[in-house]
Amino acid sequence: MNLSTLFKLNYGLYIVTSKENENFSGCTVNTVTQITAEEKPKLIVAINKENYTCELARKSEKLNISILSQEADLMLIGTFGFRTGRDFNKLQETEYKLGKNGIPIVIQNTVGYLETNVIQEIDCGTHILFLLELQEAELIDPEKESMTYGYYHKVIKGMTPPKASTYQKAQ
């Protein structure tokens, strides 16, 4: 089996945020996908069980999703993708607004955002697959191109940390 075939799959790049009481975190993910469009649209996202954002989403049953633009830089992606919110306030140097659900949404280098409720969890071993129901959606900068995972690797020359769904140990 040639596991590098998996690197040919395409994704976008997002920051998902969650909050439970006064505890907040958010993390960079590439695993957001829309599943249905009828009635209330549904989406999925896979989040590593060790990520603080996963713990907060399981407790609050709410997740907001910022769709990053191609202008998102390594500082923003890295703040949310390589550090944990357990001991660091990721909002400190990030532009954000409060969603209707009270959860901060990253609006820096963001094309648009989604507010969702968690309606189901599937345990996938290292990751929880969250099934999400859309509650709110807004465009912020619709003329900008959305960031793709390919662009992040090829143009920005970004790395993938071990907790990402697509991480593979160097052979």
Ligand X SMILES: Cc1cc2nc3c(=O)[nH]c(=O)nc-3n(C[C@H](O)[C@H](O)[C@H](O)COP(=O)(O)O)c2cc1C
Interaction site with ligand X (CB under 6 A) = 25, 27-31, 46-48, 51-53, 77, 80-85, 127, 152, 158, 160-161, 163-165
Q: Which amino acid is at 131?
A: L
Residue 149 CB, shortest distance to ligand X, in Å, is 7
Residue 34 CB, shortest distance to ligand X, in Å, is 15
52 φ/ψ angles, rounded to the nearest 5 degrees: -60, -35
| CB closer to ligand X out of 52 and 96 | 52
| Four-CA torsion 130, 110, 18, 149, nearest 10 degrees | 40
| CB closer to ligand X out of 73 and 139 | 73
| Four-CA torsion 108, 111, 116, 121, nearest 10 degrees | -90
Residue 38 CB, shortest distance to ligand X, in Å, is 26
How many C-beta atoms lie closer than 10 Å to residue 145's C-beta?
Answer: 11
| CB closer to ligand X out of 81 and 99 | 81
Residue 1 CB, shortest distance to ligand X, in Å, is 22
Q: If you ran DSSP here, which 8-state letter would residue 13 be given?
A: -
